[in-house]
C-alpha cells in the first residue's frame, strides 16, 4: 500500500503558467466585481457579462501550459497514492498527468445547463454564447461554483485529508470557505507543508516553505520521492 499524499492547490499553483490569481496585485478581483461575474445574482442580472468573463479566462487556460510544479505533483504518483484537491477551475493538473483531481469549485472546460446543474457537458468550442442552449432549451453556463453555490466533493475531500500521510498546500490565500477549512482536516501525525511566496496566514502545524510553486515544489517532490 503506497503512502497517501493530499495536494491542496489554489490559484498560486497556476500563476507561473500565466494564469491570474484573484487577490494578488493585478488579480481578477481587482479587475472585476465578483458579485457581477461569479454569483447567481450577477448571472441573472447580466449573463452576457458573465459569459464574457469566463470565455476570456477559458481562452487563457487553453493557451496555458502546466508548469514545473504541476509536473512535479504528477510525478509523486510514482511512489505515492496522490489525490489533488484543487480550488482551481483550470485543467493544468490533469494535463500534467495527475490522475486523481477533485475540483471543489468546478471546471471551466465544462458547461452545464443553467436550469439543471446535473446536466454537464464537455466544452466543444472555446466559448459559451448567449443562445447556446442545453437539450432542455435552457442557457448553458460554465460548470463552475459561484459564490453562494454549493462547493463540491467537500466530505470526500475532508476524508482524503484525514487519511493523508503528507499534505502539501500550494498557492492559496485560504480566504474562501468552506474550501479553506479543509487544511484543518489533516491528522496530527501527517507531515504538512504550505508553499507561498509571501508571509500570510499559515495554517497551524504546517511547515512554511516561502517561495513560488515552481521554486519550491520540484525540490520537495524530489526529496519525498527519494525517501519513499
Ligand atoms: N506560487 C505559489 N503561490 C503563489 C504564487 C506562485 N507563483 N503567486 C501567488 N501565490 C499565492 C498568493 O500569495 C496567494 O496566497 O497564491 C495565493 C492566491 O490567493 P487567491 O488569489 O486568493 O487564490 P485562491 O486562494 O485560490 O482563491 C480561492 O477564491 O475567488 C475564489 O473561487 C475562487 O478558487 C478561488 C478561491
Q: Read off the pLDDT of residues 87-122 as tens digits, 9 standing for 90 and up.
A: 999 999 999 999 999 999 999 999 999 999 999 999
**Gap from CA of 174 to ligand 1 centroid (Å):** 8
Among 140-144, 145-149, 176-180, 201-205, the range scoring the smallest mean pLDDT is 201-205
Looking at the 3D structure of the chain, how many domains does it have?
Answer: 2
* Local confidence band at 210 (pLDDT 50, 70, 90 cut-offs): very high
Q: Read off the pLDDT of residues 154-190 as tens digits, 9 standing for 90 and up.
A: 999 999 999 999 999 999 999 999 999 999 999 999 9
Identify whether the C-beta of residue 78 lies closer than 8 Å to the C-beta of residue 97: no
Going by the annotation, the residues of the binding site for NAD(+) are 10-29, 87-90, 171-173, 213
Please confirm, yes or no, whether 185 is among the known catalytic residues.
no
Strand partners, 133: 139
* Local confidence band at 196 (pLDDT 50, 70, 90 cut-offs): very high
Average pLDDT, stretch 26-46? 96
Q: Read off the pLDDT of residues 123-134 as tens digits, 9 standing for 90 and up.
A: 888 999 999 999
For position 47, which CATH number holds?
A: 3.30.1600.10
Which residue is closest in CA terms to ligand 1's atom 7? 212
Q: Let me know whether 46 and 137 are in one domain.
A: yes
Average pLDDT, stretch 47-63? 97
Q: Let me know whether 4 and 85 are in one domain.
A: yes
Tell whether the torsion through CA atoms of 222, 68, 212 and 183 is positive or negative: negative
Q: Let me know whether 169 and 205 are in one domain.
A: yes
* Local confidence band at 199 (pLDDT 50, 70, 90 cut-offs): confident
Identify whether the C-beta of residue 179 lies closer than 8 Å to the C-beta of residue 105: yes
Q: What is the pTM of this model?
A: 0.98
Return the best residue to mutate from 10, 16, 154, 203 for the ligand 1 pocket (most ligand atoms within 8 A of CB). Answer: 10
Q: Which domain holds residue 174?
A: 1-19+65-105+151-228
Q: Let me know whether 127 and 210 are in one domain.
A: no
Ligand 1 site, residue 105, Cβ cutoff 6 A: yes
**Gap from CA of 10 to ligand 1 centroid (Å):** 5
Ligand 1 site, residue 142, Cβ cutoff 6 A: no
Comparing CA positions, the residue from 37, 148, 21, 26 lying closest to residue 89 is 21
* Strand 207-210 with 81-86, pairing: unpaired
Tell whether the torsion through CA atoms of 151, 30, 202 and 219 is positive or negative: positive
Q: What is the DSSP letter of 39?
A: S
Amino acid at each position: 500500500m503506497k503512502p497517501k499524499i493530499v495536494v491542496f492547490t489554489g490559484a498560486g499553483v497556476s500563476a507561473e503558467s500565466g494564469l491570474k490569481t484573484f487577490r494578488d496585485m493585478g488579480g481578477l478581483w481587482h479587475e472585476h466585481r465578483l458579485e457581477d461575474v461569479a454569483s447567481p445574482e450577477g448571472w441573472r442580472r447580466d449573463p452576457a457579462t458573465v459569459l464574457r468573463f469566463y470565455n476570456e479566462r477559458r481562452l487563457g487556460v487553453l493557451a496555458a501550459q502546466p508548469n514545473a510544479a504541476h509536473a512535479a505533483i504528477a510525478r509523486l504518483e510514482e511512489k505515492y497514492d496522490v489525490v489533488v484537491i484543487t480550488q482551481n477551475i483550470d485543467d493544468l493538473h490533469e494535463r500534467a498527468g495527475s490522475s486523481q483531481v477533485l475540483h471543489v469549485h468546478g471546471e471551466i472546460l465544462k458547461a452545464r445547463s443553467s436550469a439543471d446543474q446535473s446536466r454537464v457537458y464537455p466544452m466543444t468550442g472555446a466559448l459559451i454564447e448567449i443562445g447556446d442552449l442545453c437539450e432542455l432549451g435552457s442557457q448553458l453556463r460554465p460548470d463552475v461554483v459561484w459564490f453562494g453555490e454549493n462547493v463540491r466533493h467537500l466530505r470526500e475531500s475532508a476524508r482524503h485529508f484525514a487519511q493523508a500521510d503528507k499534505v502539501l498546500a500550494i498557492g492559496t490565500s485560504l480566504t474562501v470557505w468552506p474550501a479553506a477549512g479543509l487544511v484543518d482536516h489533516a491528522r496530527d501525525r501527517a507531515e504538512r507543508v504550505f508553499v507561498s511566496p509571501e508571509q500570510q496566514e499559515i495554517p497551524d502545524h504546517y511547515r512554511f516553505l516561502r517561495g513560488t510553486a515552481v521554486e519550491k515544489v520540484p525540490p520537495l517532490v524530489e526529496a519525498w520521492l527519494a525517501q519513499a
